[in-house]
A and B are shown apart, each in its own frame.
Chain A
Amino acid sequence: MFKPLMDVITQLASDLFSFLVGLIIIVVIIGIVYNALKASAFSLFGGSQTTAVAILGTAGLVLLTLFTFLIIPQIHKLLQEWAPKPPFGSIPVALAWCSLSRYLTWVG
């Protein structure tokens, strides 16, 4: 019953995922260029602290990109492994309770 709806949602999510990945790449490239400009400009004027911050920002952006594109697929795999089956319907709970009650009565 939910399959057509889930197909549409999956298609939309796939498009959105590609869009977000593209946006992250653009932001990271612009950020690296901006930080490189900042570092070179302030090193020209002797601003060592700002230069260090800009270099660290560039390294942070690169690390964040690696983290995002390597870790998020692993998290997705982990969550898929965690995805639970419906915890109802398959186990005849009331039947199990009856059996337990009968067993306890018999033991008592």
Chain B
Amino acid sequence: MATSLILFLQEAWGALVAALLIVVILALLAQALRTATGIALGANSWTQEAISAAVGILLLAGFALLGVPAIVRAAALAMPGCGGPLDELGQVSAQVIGGIVAVRILRSAFVAIAQASLGGRFSISNTLIEAAEAVFGMLLIGLAAPLANHFLATAC
């Protein structure tokens, strides 16, 4: 069950990364079209907006592709220790929780890039807030296994 769940999350991760690459390239092309239109019409502010949006999209893509895996690995390594009768359960739950957190953070980064490519208001802060929420939730859930271990050890 846990293996199939992890495989599903891995497939979801791969699909999200592929969709993110597609959206980034199309957004860059759309901003290039906007820049060309601005230059042709002599609209300076339009050109400036398009160039800054393209730079913002590239920065967001860099954060999503390089920053998110590093955050997830760091959070997974910060999971509390295990041992005792719930050792195997702790390992499996850590992997599943890490997968859910990774997909969630990547989804929020994807939404930020999609908003930026549509020309709407975009900010990386929402992505970071979601990442912090997910990591905090992961740590809270990770406390459950040691507590249960302690309870079982004292009860038996």
Whether A associates with B in a native complex is yes
B contact residues around A60 at 8 Å (CB)? 39
Complexed CA–CA distance, A16 and B26 (Å): 8
A86 near B9 with CB under 8 A, answer yes
Q: Contact residue range for chain B? A: 35 or more
CB contacts between A and B, total, < 8 Å: 148
B94 near A93 with CB under 8 A, answer yes
B9 near A82 with CB under 8 A, answer no
Interface residues of B in 43-61 (CB under 8 A from A): 58, 61
A53 near B99 with CB under 8 A, answer no
A contact residues around B42 at 8 Å (CB)? 53, 57
B contact residues around A21 at 8 Å (CB)? 29
Complexed CA–CA distance, A91 and B24 (Å): 29
B32 near A93 with CB under 8 A, answer no
Query: Which B residues lie at the A interface, using CB under 8 A?
Result: 6-15, 17-19, 21-22, 24-26, 28-30, 32-33, 35-37, 39-42, 58, 61-62, 65-66, 68-69, 72-73, 76-77, 79, 81-83, 87, 90-91, 94-95, 98-99, 102
